[in-house]
Copies of this chain bind each other. A is one copy, B any other.
């Protein structure tokens, strides 16, 4: 039975705040067990810290969860992420066989789920999770807006 707990998206938003404070693009992700709601992994964007272009929150959360479960296929988990995944992360979600994807803000520029390459809409996509977008959208997009506003201000100074 799934426990009545705080929404995993709020924990993902906390991860986004940690990214913000580290001067990383503020995106956070959490992976939970579908059945129990137990958190398996949480991560935030670390592209700058790790000097790794693949270190998006989703990829780090997936790698950590797969390592803990000792299985490259995460068949019974749900991924919560504050921003619509890009094409890299969307296809990683498919490769990992994640059951359900819940995301916060829509990303019309770099998103790969509802925008751009629309990875899951392609008939060649082997595994398509259940998808829910726009969850805690205002908070998720708000922290991103604040980050890019500050960055523009710093560039102008």
Contacts and interface: CB of A to CB of B under 8 A. Distances in A.
Interface of A: 47-48, 50-55, 59, 62-63, 66-67, 69-74, 86-92, 95-97, 109-110, 112, 115-119, 122, 124-126
Contacts of A74: 53
Given A54-B54, A66-B51, A70-B51, A110 B92 contact: no
Given A51-B67, A51-B69, 12 more contacts: A48-B72, A50-B72, A51-B66, A52-B72, A53-B62, A54-B95, A87-B87, A87-B117, A87-B122, A88-B89, A110-B126, A112-B117
A95 B125 contact: no
Contacts of A117: 87, 91, 112, 117-119, 122, 124-125
